[in-house]
Structure formats: C-alpha cells, structure tokens
Amino acid sequence: MRETAFAPDSPRYTKQASISYFSFDPGRSALAKVGDYPFEGMLPEGGSFDAAGRHFLATVFEYADGSTPAGGIEVWRLGDAGKPGLTHLGRIVVPHGAHHVELTP
C-alpha cells in the first residue's frame, strides 16, 4: 500500500502503490527480492496468480484522480526463471471498492 492510505494533504501521501516481487529458492528456503513495481492506485487490497502462473492480478480499491468512482484490477505478466520480473499489461475497471480477485480455470 505504501502511503496511499494517507490524506492527500499529508506529507506522507503518495498516489502510487507498488507490488514487491520475490523469487524463492527451495533448496535454501530463501526469498530474494526481484524488485518493486509501482502503479497508480490507492489501497491495493489483494492479488491472485492465474492457474498457469503467467499473470498476476492486483485489486485496487480506488484511483487518486477521483474522476470516476471506480476501482480496478491491474494486470501483470510474470517473467520466467531466466528473467524474473513483472510487466504491466493494463487495467480492468471495476466498481469502486474492489478487494479481492479469484481466478478459475
């Protein structure tokens, strides 16, 4: 969430949330941070991977511009083992207040 929950006049406020992406080494039982991936959105609430493990969807409660009272689902493509990371593909607009997303095959 970073500081998206603060009031816009707070010095700690930001309109950018982020996803922190980690890789896992099962042999060492260790995590390694791949990177932080910022995106515009306030109060990201949840996320899900698709069944194939190729995409990650993050729900966003609302957006800072306030032009439309809407939430969203931010869609990301996952890299592979040779080049881990996230690529932002776009946004699906949903009603204001999105909390969770569940993907079914």
Q: What is the pTM of this model?
A: 0.83
Q: Who's near 70: CB < 8 A, 6+ residues apart?
A: 62, 63, 93, 94, 95, 96
Q: Which domain holds residue 70?
A: 16-95
Is residue 11 a part of any domain in this protein?
no
HSE (side-chain half, CA atoms, 13 Å) at 17: 21
Through-space distance between the first and last CA atoms of the chain, rounded to whole angstroms:
28
Is residue 41 a part of any domain in this protein?
yes
Is residue 1 a part of any domain in this protein?
no
Instruction: List the chain residues with pLDDT less than 70.
Output: 1-3, 66-68
Is residue 74 a part of any domain in this protein?
yes
What confidence score (pLDDT) does residue 32 get?
A: 92
pLDDT one-digit tens code per residue, 38-68: 988 888 888 999 999 899 999 998 887 766 6
Round to whole Å and give the CA distance between 22 and 59. Answer: 19
Is residue 38 a part of any domain in this protein?
yes
Is residue 69 a part of any domain in this protein?
yes
Domain count, the chain: 1
